[in-house]
Amino acid sequence: MSFRSRIILYALIPLLLITGGMLFLSRYETDELSSKELQIFRDQLIDAKKKEVVNYTQLVQAAIQPLIHSPNSNKKRAQERVKNLLSQLKYGKDDGYFFVYDQKGTNLVHPILKHIVGENLFNIQDSTGNYVIRSLLKLANNGGGFHTYRWVKPSTGKDQDKTSYVIKLDRWGWMLGTGFYLDDITHDILLIENQVKGNIRQSFTILLALTILSTVLLGLLVNWREKQLANKQLRETAHEFVLLQVNERRRLARELHDGINQLLVAAKHRIELMAYQQKRGIPYSVDKFDEAKDALNEAIQEVRHISHDLRPGLLDEMGLQVALEHLLNQFTERTGILYKLNYQVEGDILDEIEITLYRVVQESIHNIEKHAQARHVLINIKSKNHFVILNIYDDGIGFSLTKIRKIAGIGLKNMRERVELLGGDFKLMSSPNKGTRITVEIEKNA
Averaged pLDDT for residues 131-146: 95
Query: pTM value?
Result: 0.40
pLDDT at 92: 73
- Whether residues 367 and 437 fall in one domain: yes
- Whether residues 324 and 305 fall in one domain: no
pLDDT band, residue 252 (cuts 50/70/90):
very low
pLDDT at 263: 53
Q: 3-class SS at 328? A: helix
pLDDT exceeds 70 at position 255: no
- Whether residues 151 and 206 fall in one domain: yes
Averaged pLDDT for residues 324-346: 92
Q: Identify the sign of the CA torsion 327, 329, 334, 335.
A: positive
- What is the pLDDT of the chain when averaged over all its residues? 78
Backbone dihedral region of 142: left (phi > 0), alpha (psi from -120 to 50 degrees) or beta? Answer: alpha
pLDDT at 388: 94
Least trusted range by pLDDT, from 91-95, 145-149, 168-172: 91-95
pLDDT at 329: 93
Q: pLDDT for 374-400, tens place per residue?
A: 999 999 999 988 899 999 999 999 888
pLDDT band, residue 300 (cuts 50/70/90):
low
CB 390 within 8 Å of CB 379? yes
- Whether residues 283 and 359 fall in one domain: no
- Whether residues 48 and 177 fall in one domain: yes
- Whether residues 294 and 381 fall in one domain: no
pLDDT at 288: 45
State the greatest distance between any 2 C-alpha atoms of the chain, in Å, as a whole number.
105
Alpha helices by DSSP H, listed for 222-350, are 224-279, 289-307, 313-318, 320-335
Averaged pLDDT for residues 427-436: 91
pLDDT exceeds 70 at position 426: yes
Return d(Cα 306, Cα 300) in angstroms, integer.
10
Helix or strand run (H / E) with residue 163: strand 159-169
Q: pLDDT for 265-276, tens place per residue?
A: 656 666 776 677
pLDDT exceeds 60 at position 415: yes
- Whether residues 258 and 393 fall in one domain: no
pLDDT exceeds 50 at position 147: yes
- Whether residues 132 and 170 fall in one domain: yes
Q: Which domain holds residue 181?
A: 1-309
pLDDT at 259: 45
- Whether residues 291 and 330 fall in one domain: no
- Whether residues 331 and 227 fall in one domain: no
pLDDT exceeds 70 at position 254: no
- Whether residues 323 and 225 fall in one domain: no
- Whether residues 402 and 265 fall in one domain: no
